[in-house]
Chain A
Amino acid sequence: MQISARFSDSTTIFDVTGDIDLANSPEIRKALLREVREKRTPRVVMNLSNVRYIDSSGVASLVEGLKASRDLNLRFILFGLSASAREVLQLSRLLKIFEVYDNEDQALSS
């Protein structure tokens, strides 16, 4: 798994590539919480277009990012969900909780 970030004035986009599982979800969590709690970036966007698989620990990291964002009245956005990623969010009844878009253009124009 690789994670990189693109920054603009009010938005950070995390580009994630590979599977998110127990081996690397702590890295996702750390990056998200730093961006939200320490930097207080108004809009954090997760590009999951190149993520084929997310396990429950990855979902938990996304939930932590969402909760931290809500606590600070910031936005937390996902886009590019694979079939597998969409399934786990549906199974956990979280798909409607997250702000989800199909692609980056939609996510940034929202």
Chain B
Amino acid sequence: MRERDTTGISLASKDGFLLKLELLSDPKLLFVVRGALERLTEVFGFSPPDRRSVTRAVDEALTNIMRHCYKGRTDQPIELCCSRVPPRSSEQADGLEILLCDQGPAIDPAKLRGRRLDEIKPGGLGLHFIRQSMDTVEYRRVGTINQFRLVKYLQPSTQLHTP
């Protein structure tokens, strides 16, 4: 069953979210989302470096949505849903899946590769940070919605909490 929020963005397709946030594309809210992700990743059982990695990846993905999908408009809807996902193999631990959805124009996947790092220049680092920080980074277009899927798996020895 799909859920529909007050902004008309219809994104969620399953139950069992650990955390669901609906926000406007205002950069001032990035600080708020980082705070929520820092707490969630701590409760989930990530190590401090992995907490920073997940928070950084989500922050950079939201920044890209605000800058590139919504072209700096601060009144557009973004939805963030966090869920627990099973391990990829029996030797691994659970993961945290973050789905980020926006209603901006479709993205050319070729532009999601990020730039090379052998040149010292500003810009183009966000995608690199995301890919370095997460185990899975996927993009797909679902109807009129851009959906970014990020997953980070727990290290087996750090899976302590079961929220």
Contact = CB atoms under 8 A, between A and B. Distances in A.
A56 B122 CA distance: 9
B28 A56 contact: no
Interface string B23-64: 000011011001000000000000011001000100110010
A93 interface: yes
Dominant SS at the B interface? helix
A92 interface: yes
Given A22-B27, A23-B28, A84-B56, A56 B120 contact: no
B52 A84 contact: yes
Contact of A63 (B27, B63, B122): B122
B125 A59 contact: yes
Contacts of B59: 21, 53, 55
Contact of B30 (A22, A59, A88): A22
A93 B124 CA distance: 13
A36 to B, nearest CB: 14
Contacts of A66: 120
B52 A23 contact: no
A94 interface: yes
B31 A88 contact: no
Interface stretch (B13-21, B77-85, B126-134, B150-158): B126-134
Interface in A55-110: 55-57, 59-61, 63-64, 66-67, 83-84, 87-88, 91-94, 97
A38 to B, nearest CB: 19
Q: Which among A56, A59, A64, A94 has the highest number of chain B CB atoms within 10 Å?
A: A56
B125 A53 contact: no
Interface residues on A, range: 20 to 34
B128 A91 contact: yes
Nearest to A54: B56
Contacts of A67: 120-122
Contact of A92 (B48, B117, B133): B117
Contacts of A61: 122
A88 B59 CA distance: 13
Nearest to A18: B31
Nearest to A62: B122
Given A21-B27, A88-B129, A97 B120 contact: yes
Given A60-B123, A91-B133, 15 more contacts: A23-B31, A53-B34, A55-B56, A56-B60, A56-B63, A56-B125, A56-B126, A63-B121, A67-B120, A83-B52, A87-B49, A91-B129, A91-B132, A92-B129, A94-B120
